[in-house]
Amino acid sequence: MIKVGIVGGTGYTGVELLRLLARHPQVALRAITSRKEAGMPVAEMFPNLRGRVALAFSTPEEAGLETCDVVFFATPNGVAMQQTRALLDAGVKVIDLAADFRIKDVAVWEQWYKMTHACPDLIGEAVYGLPEINRDKIAGARLIANPGCYPTAVQLGFLPLLEAGVAEPGFLVADAKSGVSGAGRKPETHILFAEAADNFRAYAVGGHRHWPEIKQGLDSFAGQPVGFTFVPHLTPLIRGIHATLYARVTRDVDLQALFEERYAGEVFVDVLPAGSHPETRSVRGANTCRIAVHRPQGGDTVVVLSVIDNLVKGAAGQAVQNMNILFGLPEDMALADIGMLP
């Protein structure tokens, strides 16, 4: 059994990790920390876990994280980087669901996250945990930077085009829509029900922290710096991301075959038949990314539609997938939930 600790369990990625790990046959949940809620059973905060997760929140000091095999950080940005070195030194593997180790250029990271990085030397060692790209590196890693939700949906959608060199790299557009759980569980006015329900809006058009993360990936796929515009929107879903991607194709190619071949062996990427439109609910609660590729009216614009559950493939599910790879388990262990429809 893998001994698992979770740091920061009071947000949505925390409860989602618990929902998935509680049914993982190779996992022994050892600790979940929250300094503020120490002593409270997690099932009191998250009643769906009643009868299924017996743990109570503990302080970081009591949690014994250094005796775990792996620790997940489901914390705000800037927390994992403070604690990672000590855990690695103790032989514990670390999977950070926040952004501390996602961006290789520390200056870029510090500019976007407005903090000084606490351990820049570990950034190079960290493996970006998108298994469809980095599976082998993940298997041998000590430290995994679990991708962001938008970056997962957008990168998986652009990947086949850029790897194959069939898209003009200078004008890539990602118009992305996220459910409100993506904004977290900390109470803020703009994510109140009466503000976000029956409402639709863009935000952060001037610049979103997932832009440099995505651009880093796209640059790498394309082998050159790309021109990339990213517009996120808030939509009245609880869960779900829908990324609509636009690019110009540079040569004639069977796009459907290109996508199907690229993802042929991937258990968690489902390329839909030509002409399809994936729905976010088809992956609600599931670790799947569903993708469709279109070329409207045979023009030179390609449109890729990519959907995930932001809390599963976009966060906790991908983190468990990475853990499975790290420990040599079947990649889909405890990740077999079928999307809940309706």
Q: Among residues 209 and 239, whose Cβ is nearest to a second copy?
A: 239
| N residues, the chain | 342
Question: Does the annotation count 68 as an active-site position?
Answer: no
Tell me the closest approach of the beta carbon of residue 307 to a second copy, in angstroms. 8
CB atoms near residue 76 (< 10 Å): 14
152 phi and psi angles, rounded to 5 deg: -65, -50
Q: Please, what's the b/e burial string for 87-121 (b: 16 or more CB within 10 A of its CB; e: otherwise)?
A: bbeeebbbbbbbbbbbbeeeeebeebbeeebebee
Tell me the closest approach of the beta carbon of residue 274 to a second copy, in angstroms. 10
Q: Name every residue whose Cβ is closer than 8 Å to that of residue 180 and which is 6 or more positions away in sequence.
A: 191, 196, 234, 235, 236, 237, 238
Q: Among residues 31 and 311, whose Cβ is nearest to a second copy?
A: 311
Token pair of 197 as six digits: 């329900």
Tell me the closest approach of the beta carbon of residue 170 to a second copy, in angstroms. 9
Indicate the SS3 state at residue 229: strand
Q: Among residues 6 and 303, whose Cβ is nearest to a second copy?
A: 303
Tell me the closest approach of the beta carbon of residue 26 to a second copy, in angstroms. 16
Q: Among residues 102 and 284, whose Cβ is nearest to a second copy?
A: 284
Q: Among residues 2 and 283, whose Cβ is nearest to a second copy?
A: 283
> How far lies 251's CA from each of 172, 258, 295, 310, in Å?
16, 13, 12, 33
Q: Among residues 12 and 101, whose Cβ is nearest to a second copy?
A: 12
Tell me the closest approach of the beta carbon of residue 98 to a second copy, in angstroms. 18
Residue 127 contacts residue 77 (beta carbons within 8 Å): no
Q: Name every residue whose Cβ is closer than 8 Å to that of residue 220 and which is 6 or more positions away in sequence.
A: none
Tell me the closest approach of the beta carbon of residue 88 to a second copy, in angstroms. 31
Tell me the closest approach of the beta carbon of residue 12 to a second copy, in angstroms. 6
Q: Among residues 127 and 172, whose Cβ is nearest to a second copy?
A: 172
> How far lies 39's CA from each of 36, 71, 243, 246, in Å?
9, 20, 40, 49
Catalytic residue among 68, 119, 149, 289: 149
- The distance from CA 324 to its chain's CA centroid, rounded to whole angstroms, is 15
CB atoms near residue 200 (< 10 Å): 10
Token pair of 117 as six digits: 């990085």
Cα(261)–Cα(1) distance, rounded to whole angstroms?
36
DSSP state of 56: B
Catalytic residues: 149
